Structure 1
Amino acid sequence: MIHFYTAPAPNGWKVAIMLEECGLAYEPRWVNLAAGDQHSEDYLAINPNGRIPAITDHAPADGGEPVTVFESGAVLLYLAEKSGQFLPTDLRGMSRVRQWLFWQVGHLGPTLGQHGHFHLYAEEKLPYAIERFHREALRVYGVMDRQLGQEEYIAGPDYTVADMACFP
């Protein structure tokens, strides 16, 4: 059984999609972000970064002690390896998927998060920040659009963890 620590946010949705697609047994453990659950000592022992998502796999492949994994990209890779699904096993395919997964983690997700924050939620509207992240959002959307103009899925011909990471 996998305990899945999450909240209704894009990073949690990525892992929820993966768990459903893999058919792995899991139990959601809701982290109330508004109440500050992510800052509790118990949760920080699971995820020292104090964010969602995280998992604890009580039935790891090696049969040993439970394995805890935090950060959406790391969780997606762990689940792909555990299930043997949505991650190619050939060198080139695996490399493509990992590149696009890390692109999402390092560029698409943070850029759209910052754009949304400064454009929609910041109390003080900072034109420089709004414009900077708007331009960067357009750039990363352009990268994705060009890639999807050449391939059916973000990392090639097959549906992978990279698509699950990019979707939300």
Structure 2
Amino acid sequence: MIDLYYTATPNGLKLRLFFEETGLAHRIVPVRLSAGDQFKPEFLAVSPNNKIPAILDHAPSDGGAPIPVFESGAILLYLAEKTGRLYPSDPRQRLELSQWLFWQMAGLGPMSGQAGHFRVHADEPLPYAIDRYTREVQRLHGVLDRRLQDRRFLVGDDYSIADIACYPWIVPYAGLGQDLANTPSLQRWFDEIAARPATRRAYEGVEVPYSQALSSQARQVLFGNGAAEPAR
């Protein structure tokens, strides 16, 4: 059994997508970010960066003690290698997959998060920040669009964890100031993934990120605490 420490954020939804696609046995452990659950000692023992998602694998392949894994990209790689699912067997394709997975972790996710923050959650409008991050997300969408012009998915014709990593960060495109009509190959890819039964199950009842402002209490917990904040 695998414990999934989860909130329905783009990064958390990557793991929901993986589990829905594979049917791998797991137990969801809700982490209420707006209530400060991410600062509790029991969560920090699994995810020292106080971020979701994280997992605790109680049945690792080596038969040893339970293994905690944090960082969504690392978790996807760990689970794909453990199961052999959504992960190509060809070494060259694995290299391609790693590049697009790391590209998402280093670029698409952080830049989209900054665009969403300054467009929706900032205390006051900061035109420079809004323009800076909105334009960067636009550029990254263009990178994906060019990649997908001659292939069905990011790594050839097979759906993989590279696609799973990127998709949740495209879902809130409107709140990030983007229009997928401007990137037709990305739109085609997005629509195909959105129609998958596993995607529909993972997103059932989930609110699109950056679609509305947060409460003042949630803002204080999410944006007012740092790594040195005492655990509660």
Bucket of the pairwise TM-score, normalised by the shorter protein: over 0.9
> Are the equivalent residues in 2 in contact too, given 1:73–1:101 (CA < 8 A)?
yes
d(CA) in 2 for partners of 1:8 and 1:160? 20
- Is residue 50 of structure 1 aligned with residue 56 of structure 2? no
Partner of 1:6: 6
Give yes or no for contact 1:96–1:156 (8 Å, CA) kept in 2: no
Show the counterpart of 1:40. 40
Matched-pair contact (CA < 8 Å) for 1:119–1:125: yes
Using the size of structure 1 for normalisation, the TM-score is: 0.98
The question of 1:95 aligning with 2:90 is answered no
- Quick one: distance in 2 between partners of 1:8 and 1:161? 18
Q: Work out the CA distance in 2 between the residues paired with 1:91 and 1:81.
A: 13
1:121 aligns with 2:97: no
Q: Structure 2: how far apart are the matches of 1:117 and 1:108?
A: 14
Deviations 1:100-148 (A, max 9, x none): 1111111111111100100111012111100000110100000001111
Task: Please state if 1:15 is matched with 2:15.
Answer: yes
Provide TM-score, normalisation by structure 2: 0.71
How far 1:3 moved relative to its partner?
A: 0.3
Residue deviations 1:1-36 (CA, integer Å, cap 9, x gap)? 000001111111001110121221000000000100
Residue 156 (structure 1) aligns with? 156
Which whole-Å CA distance do the structure 1 matches of 2:55 and 2:17 have between them? 14
Deviation at 1:150, TM superposition (A): 1.8
CA distance in 2, matches of 1:128, 1:120: 14
1:51-86, CA deviations, whole angstroms, 9 ceiling, x for partnerless residues? 000000001111111111000000000110111111
**Structure 1 stretch 146-155 or stretch 24-33: which is displaced more?**
146-155
Query: Equivalents in 2 of 1:7, 1:134: separation in Å?
Result: 25
Alignment of 1:75-90 (within 5 A): 75-90=75-90
The match for 2:64 is 64
Shift of 1:155: 2.1
Counterpart position of 1:108: 108
Percent of residue pairs bearing the same amino acid type: 53
Supply the distance in 1 between the matched residues of 2:156 and 2:119 (Cα, whole angstroms).
33
Hey, what's the Cα distance between the residues in 2 that align with 1:22 and 1:122? 38
- 2:137 corresponding residue in structure 1: 137
Runs of 4+ in 1 over 2 A off after TM superposition: none
Q: Distance in 2 between matches of 1:96 and 1:68?
A: 26
For residues 41 and 135 of structure 2, what CA distance do their matches in structure 1 show? 39
C-alpha displacement of 1:157 = 1.9
Give the AA of the match of 2:132: R
- Once residues 105 and 150 of structure 1 are traced to their aligned partners in structure 2, the CA distance between those partners, rounded to angstroms, is 23
> Separation in 2 of the partners of 1:140 and 1:105?
12
Q: CA RMSD in A?
A: 0.8
SS at match of 1:101: helix
Contact 1:14–1:72 (8 Å) recurs in 2: yes
